[in-house]
Amino acid sequence: MISGMAVWGGAGWLLDRWLDTRVFLPVGILLGISAAIYLVVKRFGGLPPDPGAPEQGNTPGGRRSRPRTQKGPR
């Protein structure tokens, strides 16, 4: 994450020096942080499902299955 800030912040600093402005350095730092966070989330994703958790009862199509009772459908 620090390298993203450094690379894009450095590019913003160079643009600021070239164009004689003060806006590209903070934009570059924010862009570097955003890109680094995106890449970390894309690479590692979310937490894996808990193996001890009960099943949700979903069918392969994604719809919930009907609860089965001893009396049958009503």
Q: What are the tens digits of pLDDT across the range 33-62?
A: 999 999 998 898 877 777 776 665 555 555
Residue 15, pLDDT > 80, answer yes
pLDDT value, residue 23: 95
Q: With bands split at pLDDT 50, 70 and 90, how would you rate the model's confidence at 64?
A: low
Parse the chain into domains and list their residue ranges: 2-44
Average pLDDT taken over every residue of the chain = 82
For residue 12, the tally of other CB atoms under 10 A from its CB is: 22
For residue 9, the tally of other CB atoms under 10 A from its CB is: 20
Q: Are 5 and 27 in contact (CB under 8 A)?
A: no
pLDDT value, residue 68: 64
User: CB-hemisphere CA count at 13 Å for 30?
Assistant: 5
Residue 17, pLDDT > 90, answer yes
